């Protein structure tokens, strides 16, 4: 049985004080949230320690938003897998479209990072998604399948099953234009069929997920949770979203 996961991607928001305020308020709501949902908070690097300290003895898991694939070296400005492990990080988002489009991240880089995360016991959340132009041209499935195969190339099926995939249509991220749940479900089916081992891996939907629309995604058979940007910045909205994301399967 695949697990349900809701991950909050804070992007470049919240200093350590704001992060601590969020966690304190969110932990107050935790007791009322469904036990069947794995909750992941992905603050910026600078707040990982502060958030990690606060969630250490709770069911909330810590996630990072990116990392380098090498353990150490002359890579100014980068953070390595062992450094994340040292901070208690369990998950790492890789290949987010903002990394790909704004910072030149390539399929090959995502592949190296995915393998490195697995080698260090981190769970990669590998993000794929099409642009509006690709969707309009009917290229959605081809695009996300190609991205998925490139990211997971060379991994044995047993390792692939440990990955979390995130389908995030680029046109839906931060725009308020969320993807039709049934359409997202179809794309996820294609992702699952793209690589051996993905049948057992959770796939999250991301792109303008809100407390009001998350239930429609959770109800779809291929969708195992959500990767949430904007709505994860407010503790009450994020708690409400998690409460609506759980479906007894």
**Residue whose CB is nearest to ligand PGA in the complex, by number:** 229
x/- binding map, residues 220-249, to ligand PGA, per CB under 6 A? -------xxxxx------------------
Tokens representing residue 142 in the block: 């081809």
44 is a site residue for ligand PGA (CB under 6 A): no
Q: If you compute the radius of gyration of the chain from its CA atoms, what whole number of angstroms results? A: 17
Closest C-alpha to 144, from 85, 82, 190: 190
**Closest CB to ligand PGA among 58 and 175?**
175
Strand-pairing partners, residue 7, are 40, 227
The residues in 153-182 that bind ligand PGA, with binding defined as CB under 6 A, are 168, 173-174
Terminal CA-to-CA distance of the chain, rounded, Å? 9
Helix (H, G, I), strand (E, B) or coil at 135: helix
The site string for ligand PGA over 182-211 (x = CB under 6 A, - otherwise) reads ------------------------xxxx--
Residue 96: active-site member: yes
Pick the closer one to ligand PGA by CB: 9 or 123. 9
Q: Is the dihedral of CA 182, 187, 191, 193 positive or negative?
A: positive
One of 38, 68, 96, 134 is an active-site residue; which one? 96
CA distance 129 to 14: 26
Q: Which CB, 93 or 155, lies closer to ligand PGA?
A: 93
| Tokens representing residue 73 in the block | 């070296």
Point out the catalytic residue in the list 38, 98, 105, 168: 168
Question: 155 vs 201, which CB is nearer to ligand PGA?
Answer: 201
How many residues make up the chain in this entry? 249
| Using rule CB under 6 A, residue 9 touches ligand PGA | yes
Instruction: Compute the distance between CA of residue 231 and CA of residue 172 in angstroms, rounded to an integer.
Output: 14
**Known catalytic residues?**
96, 168
Chain residues that interact with ligand PGA, rule: CB under 6 A = 9, 168, 173-174, 206-209, 227-231
């Amino acid at each position: 049985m695949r697990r349900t996961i809701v991950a909050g991607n804070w992007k470049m928001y919240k200093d350590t004080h704001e992060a601590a305020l969020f966690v304190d308020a969110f932990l107050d709501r935790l007791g009322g949230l469904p036990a069947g949902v794995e909750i992941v908070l992905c603050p910026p690097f600078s707040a990982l320690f502060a958030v990690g300290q606060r969630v250490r003895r709770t069911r909330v898991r810590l996630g990072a938003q990116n990392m380098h694939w090498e353990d150490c070296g002359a890579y100014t400005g980068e953070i390595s897998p062992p450094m994340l492990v040292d901070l208690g990080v369990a998950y790492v988002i890789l290949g987010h479209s903002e990394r790909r489009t704004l910072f030149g991240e390539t399929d090959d880089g995502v592949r190296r990072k995915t393998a490195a995360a697995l080698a260090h016991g981190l769970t990669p959340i590998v993000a794929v998604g099409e642009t509006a132009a690709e969707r309009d041209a009917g290229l959605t499935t081809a695009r996300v399948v190609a991205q998925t195969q490139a990211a997971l190339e060379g991994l044995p099926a047993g390792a692939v099953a440990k990955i979390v995939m995130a389908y995030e249509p680029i046109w839906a991220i931060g725009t308020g234009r969320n993807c039709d749940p049934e359409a997202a479900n179809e794309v996820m089916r294609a992702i699952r069929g793209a690589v051996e081992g993905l049948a057992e891996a959770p796939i999250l939907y991301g792109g303008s997920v809100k407390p009001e629309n998350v239930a429609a995604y959770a109800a779809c058979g291929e969708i195992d949770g959500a990767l949430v940007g904007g709505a994860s910045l407010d503790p009450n909205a994020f708690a409400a979203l998690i409460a609506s994301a759980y479906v007894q399967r």
